């Protein structure tokens, strides 16, 4: 992929932690990307196709906050709400919807920050490209 110049406006906490020079910010971004790639591989092994499909439904209008220190709890809440409000799990899990949704929510609550963000980024990637993807066949969760 060719180099592309992107303008980033880091917040005050990022500047305080990482620094304000381009090389330091770039190094931090490369480190975060490496951690996300590894977490995505582990998530792909941990969650099955139906879990990822349920996550597409639960995250359609979900907007995470990077400052949230427990994003897994918030995402688990979105998954649980998708099942309890619209019974979304039935579409993906069938008769096991309640149990499987509960298990997915528990798995999300148990994930660390990086693994949850890998799920969130994969889900956002799905929604950014959903007109070109088939949730029944494409393995879109591989970053």
Over residues 101-134, the pLDDT tens digits come to: 999 999 999 999 999 999 999 999 999 998 998 8
d(CA 69, CA 46): 22
| Contact present, 65 and 132 (Cβ < 8 Å) | no
Q: Kindly calculate the radius of gyration of the chain based on its CA atoms and give it in whole angstroms.
A: 17
Structure tokens at 55: 């996550």
42 Cβ neighbours under 8 A, 6+ residues apart: 115
Reported as a pLDDT band with limits 50, 70 and 90, residue 79 is very high
Tokens 């998954």 locate to 79
């Amino acid at each position: 992929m060719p180099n592309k110049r992107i303008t980033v406006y880091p917040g005050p906490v990022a500047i305080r932690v990482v620094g304000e020079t381009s090389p330091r910010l770039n190094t931090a971004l490369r480190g975060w990307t490496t951690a996300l790639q590894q977490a995505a591989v582990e998530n792909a092994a941990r969650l099955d196709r139906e879990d990822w499909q349920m996550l597409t439904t639960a995250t359609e209008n979900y907007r995470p906050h990077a400052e949230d220190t427990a994003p897994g709890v918030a995402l688990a809440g979105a998954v649980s709400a998708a099942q309890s409000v619209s019974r979304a799990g039935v579409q993906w899990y069938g008769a096991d919807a309640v149990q499987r949704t509960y298990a997915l929510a528990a798995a999300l609550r148990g994930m660390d920050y990086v693994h949850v963000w890998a799920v969130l980024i994969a889900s956002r990637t799905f929604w950014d490209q959903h007109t070109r993807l088939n949730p029944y066949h494409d393995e879109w969760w591989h970053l």
